[in-house]
Amino acid sequence: MKKIALIQESPYVLDKKRTIEKAVEIINSVSAKGAELIVFPEAFIAGYPAWIWRLRPGGDRGISEELHVRLLKNAIDLSSDDLNPMLEAAKDNSVTVVCGINERDNANSQSTIYNSVITIDTQGQIINHHRKLMPTNPERMVWGFGDGHGLNVIDTPVGRIGSLICWENYMPLARYSLYSQGIEIYIAPTYDSGDAWTGTMQHIAREGKCWVLSCGVALERKDLPTDFPNIDEIYPADEEWINPGDSLVVSPSGEIVSGPLSKEKGYIILDIDVDLASTSKRALDVAGHYSRPDVFKLEVDKTRQSPIHFKNSR
């Protein structure tokens, strides 16, 4: 049995330093409770840009630009030492950490933000870095398109883990790329919630015969910074919850074993039998004996995409 922890807590929205400090406190706290794998929600550092679902496209340009500037300044440059406190906390506690971040590109223009999820190992090293393949609807005004570079399943002390972010989980081929790498613990950091999302998580567990950990964004109006522009128009004072969280754990049979944790902050800490991800495939193994490679083949390009390639002039 392995002990996992889903963290349904709000960040300090648009404040990466305080959010990272909070993440370190949480890692220390749930590690002390025995957690070996700790999962944070989508874009936890420094907050999912929930305002994009309220602002009018093109009609609230001033507010959108102000918030985007603040989000960019609080996005994580992975070549910097921003995340060092979290890396050290993972190493000190000998735990694996999966965390959603707003990532600032450091390779090209250095101004594009990506919706990314990172995996930190027990030695405090980032061992996987996945950028969301396809931002959804108004998310495309905030985040750039990711690529297949991070579509990896990683061996960890808790099992073989991999991640897809929010509506990436509706992409059958993206899911299959993880199934085909022997995933045992399928991690879905997300802003989505509700019965339809829960049903999707159950379907993925049954399809992939893997554990599914869905870690949702829990966000209240009071979590927004005090200087959030036009807050009373965007989020009326009588609106307490912006997003309910709805984190849950689903077994390889599709059974919900914990959650959904709705409209409350806290953790799901649970022991899971990781071996079920293998033994459950006896009847259905979509990337193994139930596949038909003579009829269907999937090709995945894991190259990190870039608009420019320099060649030496010498």
Helix, strand, coil content of the chain in percent (nearest 5): 30, 25, 45
25 given a catalytic annotation: no
Of 140, 76, 128, the C-alpha closest to 97 is: 128
Q: Which of 16, 22, 132, 281 is catalytic?
A: 132
Of 311, 300, 307, the C-alpha closest to 112 is: 307
Which residues on adjacent β-strands are paired with residue 116?
A: 101, 131
166 given a catalytic annotation: yes
Q: Which of 2, 36, 103, 166 is catalytic?
A: 166
What is the Cα Rg of the chain in Å?
19
240 given a catalytic annotation: no
Of 7, 34, 93, 39, the C-alpha closest to 271 is: 34
CA distance 213 to 211: 7
Distance of CA 81 to the CA centre of its chain: 21
β-strands 37-39, 2-8 pairing: parallel
Q: Which of 42, 103, 139, 184 is catalytic?
A: 42
Residues annotated as catalytic (active site), given as ranges: 42, 132, 166
